[in-house]
Structure 1
Amino acid sequence: MINPAPASALLHIPTFHDVQTARERISGVAHRTPVLTSRTANARTGAALFFKAEPLQRAGAFKFRGAYNAIAALDTLSRKNGVVAFSSGNHAQALAYAAGLQGVAATVVMPRDAPEIKVSATRGYGARIVFYDRYTEDRVEISERLAREQGAALIPPYDHPDVIAGQGTAALELIEEVGEIDLLVVPLGGGGLLAGSALSARALSPTCTIVGVEPEAGNDGQQSLQKGEVVKIPVPKSIADGALVTHVGDHNFAILKNTVDDIVTVTDAQLVETMRFFAERMKMIVEPTGCLAAAAVLHGAIACSGKRVGILLSGGNIDLKTFSALLDGR
């Protein structure tokens, strides 16, 4: 059974109740990742920063939450026929891992230039990989065809209510642990993490400001929020490979337009400096996409002095050769 995003009028928009249901489904399976602090970061910004460390999540990123929840929500027939997904890496790994844990076959459509560490991990978790060219081929068309041929459920990386609800559990845990916050800063690619986080933040810390962060080269979300409708752009080029999308999802934007206060951008150079900060000061590897929110705070793109700030570090899946080359400026 294929489950593409329906027409706008028919969208099923998840609520905080769905996030709570997702938390029950993933409880005992997904890690409750730690919330970390840094005196150096606090001194640099004049704020109290709380970093939700999703690089320490299963499969190395927050994506495991949404993937596991979406598969767990499937009916028996859909689970029997397997699942299909498209992803540049983190959703691919997460879906493959989550499917294997639940005894469900998985096929993942990945770009040929996806990081090798993510391709290897996806294969290692048991998924079948179908490659495509992100600049000349349509991954959605390919995935929908495969889903039809297999009778499988299509679980996209962000434009899906159960994926959004699962991603929202990260912010739920963050706010439960540290209490109400003044500002929540979240990486933005397709919008699953930001939309889910917004549902949790509006329920648990309703007065907080919510800001999404994109790579400067791919500010489709920023343009969309300013225009009030989904804006599509050419495939961007940035080291933040997990955020290289052409537009935010329909389900996601339906939430973002009513809950998110602002969307800002950061440069690749700022992402590299932030990667270096986490490695040197907090002894943690965070991939470029995972650094988006922190980079905006640490480089002053968002005013946060005197505030309690929740920051989602979305993932840590980067091979050491690439990590070293970026830090060395190669």
Structure 2
Amino acid sequence: MSQIHNRPGEQGARPPESPQVSVAAVGDGPVPGFGIDAIHEAARRLSGQVVRTPLLNSPMLDELVGARVLVKAECLQLTGSFKVRGALNALLTLDEEARRAGIVAYSAGNHGQGVAAAARLAGCPAVIVMPRHAPRIKADNCRWWGAETVLYDPRTEDREEVAQKILQDRGMTLIPPFDDPRVMAGQGTVGLEIAEQARELGLTPEAVLVNCSGGGLAAGVITALHHTFPGLAHHIVEPAGFDKMARSLESGHVCANPHPPGGLMDAISGPAAGARPLAVLRQHEVTGLTVTDEEALAAMAVAHRLLKIVVEPGGAASLAALLSGQVDVQGGTVALVASGGNVDPAVYRRALAD
């Protein structure tokens, strides 16, 4: 079992200034429509549609950390992040009439790209609601896949309200970024693949670290891996000061981040935790960790140098937590997800220069 190393002055690796805003109570117990069977169904539905991304290992990284490190390179997934898995799984459950009408998503970028790609694969229209500050590469990529983009100001507008108006005006269907059992099941296929690939290598991970925003990826991956490796230690990683899921797990209520979001880790700095992912994560012993922008940048440089992959700041959070020594996995095997690689060139240059 892994151990947690808190930093000086921290309690549970949570910055003392992080506000807690309870906005909804969450019940315990199974989430309807989600579970290991739903994840297996999603895997069958997505077979041949998404990339079975590699589980990377570097002896140099192993030596640096003092453990066998298995990195699931979802930055090499179609659209450059895991998000297409959940988006396409949800879309493929819609009937033909709903597909013809089209779909809507709100996203800082990666979910939007996943929905845009899924819509193109299924031959249906898509509208992506994005914050004005979203990295340009993500907005451009949504348009490349054929989606319409609608920009909003997160300081004065609510993304769900913007999306709801489009739904009402056009009769489209919303594909949520995380708080949906179909999306969560699709993201859980990442965990299925990690389990399969680790067993192919003859390895049993003692711990897993998953980047977390709304919690769809974390809930899916942890559910899938727990089924294969029941003794696994589960860790979620969030930006320092924006650890809404860790606070939600502690309080039992859905908590929100400060508004508007800030920092480089936009991919995992969404406004609030998801109620369904929270309910799933509460069924497991999950430890919340946080990393700073500087630690994420350093992890991006390590991923470039030792793994030869491009990872965005939010996608590098779990590697950053491991490199900063927050989890003691000495002599063991640890798995983590490099969840996205859609980074602006200027940010990437900064990471490599530091």
The TM-score, its normalising length taken from structure 2, stands at 0.88
CA distance in 2, matches of 1:172, 1:207: 16
1:214 equivalent in structure 2: 238
Describe how 1:145-224 pairs up with structure 2 within 5 A.
Answer: 145-179=165-199, 180-224=204-248
For 2:256, the aligned partner's letter is K
Deviates more, 1:223-232 or 1:210-219: 223-232
Match of 2:104 among 60, 84, 89: 84
Tell whether the 8 Å contact from 2:83 to 2:187 is kept in structure 1 after alignment.
yes
Distance 1:215-1:8 versus aligned 2 partners, 3 A rule: closer
1:325 and 2:350 correspond? yes
Deviation string 1:76-96 (CA, Å, 9 cap, x unpaired) is 221121100000100111110
CA distance in 1, matches of 2:68, 2:25: 42
Match of 1:239 among 261, 264, 272: 264
CA distance in 2, matches of 1:99, 1:132: 22
Describe how 1:22-171 pairs up with structure 2 within 5 A.
Answer: 22-171=42-191
Deviation string 1:141-193 (CA, Å, 9 cap, x unpaired) is 11122112211110111111111000010111011111232111100011111
Question: Following TM superposition, by how much is the alpha carbon of 1:326 offset from its aligned partner in structure 2, in angstroms?
Answer: 3.9
Query: What stretches of structure 2 of length at least 5 have no aligned partner?
Result: 1-23
Tell whether the 8 Å contact from 2:291 to 2:320 is kept in structure 1 after alignment.
yes
Tell whether the 8 Å contact from 1:12 to 1:251 is kept in structure 2 after alignment.
no
Question: Following TM superposition, by how much is the alpha carbon of 1:207 offset from its aligned partner in structure 2, in angstroms?
Answer: 1.0
CA distance in 2, matches of 1:233, 1:217: 8
The TM-score, its normalising length taken from structure 1, stands at 0.94
1:3 equivalent in structure 2: none
Question: Following TM superposition, by how much is the alpha carbon of 1:322 offset from its aligned partner in structure 2, in angstroms?
Answer: 2.6
Match of 1:287 among 312, 317, 322: 312
Tell whether the 8 Å contact from 2:36 to 2:224 is kept in structure 1 after alignment.
yes
For 1:43, the aligned partner's letter is E
Provide the secondary structure at the position in 2 that maps to 1:316: coil
For 1:167, the aligned partner's letter is Q
Provide the secondary structure at the position in 2 that maps to 1:230: strand
Higher relative contact order at CA 8 Å, sep ≥6: structure 1 or structure 2?
A: 2
CA distance in 2, matches of 1:17, 1:149: 36
CA distance in 2, matches of 1:308, 1:8: 33
Query: What stretches of structure 1 of length at least 5 have no aligned partner?
Result: 1-5
* Sequence identity (%): 37
Question: Following TM superposition, by how much is the alpha carbon of 1:102 offset from its aligned partner in structure 2, in angstroms?
Answer: 0.5
CA distance in 1, matches of 2:99, 2:26: 26
CA distance in 1, matches of 2:25, 2:88: 25
Question: Following TM superposition, by how much is the alpha carbon of 1:56 offset from its aligned partner in structure 2, in angstroms?
Answer: 0.6
CA distance in 1, matches of 2:149, 2:31: 29
For 2:161, the aligned partner's letter is E
Distance 1:7-1:229 versus aligned 2 partners, 3 A rule: closer
Tell whether the 8 Å contact from 1:109 to 1:129 is kept in structure 2 after alignment.
yes
Provide the secondary structure at the position in 2 that maps to 1:186: strand
CA distance in 1, matches of 2:166, 2:74: 31
2:6 equivalent in structure 1: none
CA distance in 2, matches of 1:212, 1:7: 21
Provide the secondary structure at the position in 1 that maps to 2:134: coil
Question: Following TM superposition, by how much is the alpha carbon of 1:13 offset from its aligned partner in structure 2, in angstroms?
Answer: 4.8
Distance 1:13-1:238 versus aligned 2 partners, 3 A rule: farther
Aligned residues: 324
CA distance in 2, matches of 1:226, 1:307: 28
CA distance in 2, matches of 1:275, 1:286: 6
Deviation string 1:291-329 (CA, Å, 9 cap, x unpaired) is 011111111111211221111110101132331134335
Provide the secondary structure at the position in 1 that maps to 2:300: helix
